[in-house]
Structure 1
Amino acid sequence: MARLSAVLGALTGDGGTSSFDPADVADGRAVMLLARDGHGAVIGCGAYRPLTPDAVDKAAEIKRMYAEQGCGAALLAALEQRAAERDGYTRLCLSTRRVNTRAIAFYERHGYRETAPYGRYVGRAQSICMEKRIG
C-alpha cells in the first residue's frame, strides 16, 4: 500500500490514505488480497469493503487497488469473484481521480462504467465514481 500511496501522491498530490483504514477489512464482509510474484514478493493489492447494507442491491467498494508486473486483471477478477461468491455482493463501486486516466481506462476495459458520485465523493469534481454489476 505504501507503493500505491507514493504513486498516487506523485500523480494527484494525495496518496489516498485518508479514505482507507486497514481496519476497514476487519469486517467479515470485507477482504484484502495480495498478489505475489514467483518469489513471493508482493506485486499488488486490492480490497473491498461493504458500501451499502441493502440485501437486495448489496454493494461493496473497491479500495487500494495497485498492481505491478501485469497482475492487475487477475487481481481485479479475484476481488470480483470473491465479492460475488463468498460475500454475495451484486455490485462493486470505486472512485479514482479523473487525472488517473490509466486507472479509468483499466476499469473501463473490465466492465466498469461511470456512475453518480456517492459518499465522500459527492461534489468532488476531481473524482470519478464507477461501478460494475457482478451478481
Structure 2
Amino acid sequence: MSIGEIIRTKGNEVLTSLPETSVVDIARMMTDRRVGLVVVVSQGGRILGVISERDIVRAVAINQDHIADLKVEDLYTRDVQTCLPTDDARDIMRVMHEGRFRHMPVVMHGNLKGLVSVGDILEYLKEQSELHSDSEVWEELNFL
C-alpha cells in the first residue's frame, strides 16, 4: 500500500504558509481547519519546512509576553523529512514512529503533493483490513 493511495483516499489539500506569517494567524488557521501541521513554503512554492502545534505550544511557553511578535520564520522546522507518493505506507509509518513526528509532506519532483499523518495511515490500514482498532493496526505493524 502506497502513500499515494492514502492521499487519493483522504484528499491532497495541504495548508501552507509563508515564513512572514504571524504565529497567531497560523494558530488560528490551524484551529479553524483542525490540523496539526502547516507546510512553510517560499513565494515560489518551494518547501522550506513545517510548523506544528508542538512548535507553537513550545513558543507560547517560552515567549508568553511576545507571542504576537513572532513569525512563522522564527519557529518552523527546517530540513523536514518528506516522502514520495510511491513510498510504502508501512515504511513511512516506521520513519515517523522512529523520528517521533506525526506528519510528513508528500513530494514529487520538488512539488508538494499532499500531507500524510500517522492517523491517516492507521485509518487507511483499518479500512483496508479486518483490523478494527488502532492497537490492532500497531500490532500488525510490529510496533508494540
TM-score (norm 1): 0.27
Structure with the bigger percentage of helix: 2
- Bigger radius of gyration among the two: 2
